[in-house]
Structure 1
């Protein structure tokens, strides 16, 4: 049988290699659907706040693990409600996710009559990466070094005071209400559009105290520009060993700590969810990232989508009881 001409053998080899390459690319695309894409991380608060800073730390490393362009898009307003609505409207292909803490996912649907989204049906949990605690902080010009000093100072001024909170009808606002009742003070929660503007007023001594997450306060606490004097949670924080818990101060019931997680639109393919979750697990295991997040006041640890979903449901149930006890009526 005559052999094929050399050019025919060469063309056959090229065609075979092209077929193999195409098959390999197809397999990669199917197994890694986000690779080569642009992935947008929605953040429901302004630049400069704790959540924004966390998102940018993660985005920088996620781009390498995903092999994708990763951008952070801030959609501030209504305590993350606008960002959550944007997630619901996004294509369910994994290229848009929402990095959020407890407020937007667990609290907003309980305090707003028509939030424009339902986490149970509109979202799917991708992965969790940390828990944290909220703290009570004093502005630099506020007298006293402890929470009890603050209580005594407010009483000496007639028992009235304003406390900043990063969003209306939030865990910090409910905490202000409970503190007022516990210590028989007339405290009013002053809501802001995120932690950054609240922090600006605290640093300018425009408001005497504020309640927000430890990541929001920790840099200014370390520099002495403000003072965290009490934290929620069941134990003191490793980053704040000298700051007591509210339970130590006699205010129990706030031991269930909030979470940080990533959520995607319902219907997002499992392959995309798994790829993002695996990439996030690798990112937070990197010493530089892990240490940075820990320094920001987070307790870092990966949760699968299923674990994040369970954590979110448990936290929602805990705060449903507290919100009901305050007599709050959804607005």
Structure 2
């Protein structure tokens, strides 16, 4: 009996030692593996940055390598996109982008320095989101109709509305709002949503247009009021806020998206590995909760699905931009 117990104990110790060695080897491999960069075209503190940091934190466990976020703010994401174009196609440089840099900028900029279809390859779609119209805490307007009335009372209906980047979806929305409600609105471009929100919190600008995730925390805290959202239905995170369709401004029901991209020429096996890793990360309950809390709708897309979404969105916005008379700058 004693001999049997000793044998079982020896086996248990060997198993524990093997498990510890395996864990140590796995940790060592993760520490010595070359890091993967996720490029972000906007400053730290904004919605894109928050999503990238959440992905980076969880992806490292899936791919057994460090994952770092590399902010390259400026020009509405062009700087980061150009960095992706020039990066080695080895699966170690990725670009987290929403629709603006991928679908809109090439339509409104004469020479953005990249061509998405030619220079990039989709890895995986992350989520969809909606843009929102918000007013600062110092703006005496509890809803969108009251905001319109307030602007009309401000010396001929003139007003400035912050936008995260020039020639963006928010800028065209500001233009259409001005036309529909006979307001003289000027879109004031910022270098990302973080500085725009900072000015709204300081009552330096009365209103702004950005993604729901840019405003949601301050909206819940009562520091900024989201008064309307785009898309075909109200958002679960703020069900009291009406859509622009409800308010009579239609044509913005197609939802923008977040996707992960790699340089063209990246080996297919690397793309497949990364896409599968992203799909597993998006299944984690804590990730789903955090992205939902940011006002995003989980929407994992394969490489092919993200490419199709990109084409459809680009086609829709080509019609809107051409119809607005906007000339590429």
Structure-2-length-normalised TM-score: 0.90
Structure 2 counterpart of 1:80, from 77, 80, 88: 77
**Residue 289 of structure 2 corresponds to residue 291 of structure 1:** yes
Question: Where in structure 2 are there 5+ consecutive unaligned residues?
Answer: 1-28
| Residue 42 of structure 1: aligned partner | 39
Structure 2 counterpart of 1:194, from 173, 192, 195: 192
Q: Counterparts of 1:54-203 in structure 2 under 5 Å?
A: 54-156=51-153, 157-203=155-201
| Residue 214 of structure 1: aligned partner | 212
Q: Deviations over 1:211-258 (max 9, x none)?
A: 000011101111010000000001111111111000000000000000
Q: CA deviation at 1:37?
A: 2.8
Q: Counterparts of 1:236-247 in structure 2 under 5 Å?
A: 236-247=234-245
Q: CA deviation at 1:301?
A: 2.1
Aligned counterparts of 1:171 and 1:83: Cα–Cα separation in 2:
19
Counterpart secondary structure, 1:251: coil
Counterpart secondary structure, 2:133: strand
Q: Deviations over 1:71-98 (max 9, x none)?
A: 0000000000000000000000110000
Aligned counterparts of 1:167 and 1:262: Cα–Cα separation in 2:
20
Which deviates more from structure 2 when the two are superposed, residues 156-165 or residues 72-81?
Answer: 156-165
Question: Where in structure 1 are there 5+ consecutive unaligned residues?
Answer: 1-33
| Residue 226 of structure 2: aligned partner | 228
Counterpart secondary structure, 1:273: helix
Aligned counterparts of 1:167 and 1:129: Cα–Cα separation in 2:
22
Aligned counterparts of 2:301 and 2:215: Cα–Cα separation in 1:
25
| Residue 253 of structure 1: aligned partner | 251
Aligned counterparts of 2:191 and 2:208: Cα–Cα separation in 1:
13
The ranges of structure 1 where at least 4 consecutive aligned residues each deviate by more than 4 angstroms after the TM superposition are none
Q: Root-mean-square deviation (CA), in Å?
A: 1.0
Aligned counterparts of 1:314 and 1:321: Cα–Cα separation in 2:
11
Structure-1-length-normalised TM-score: 0.89
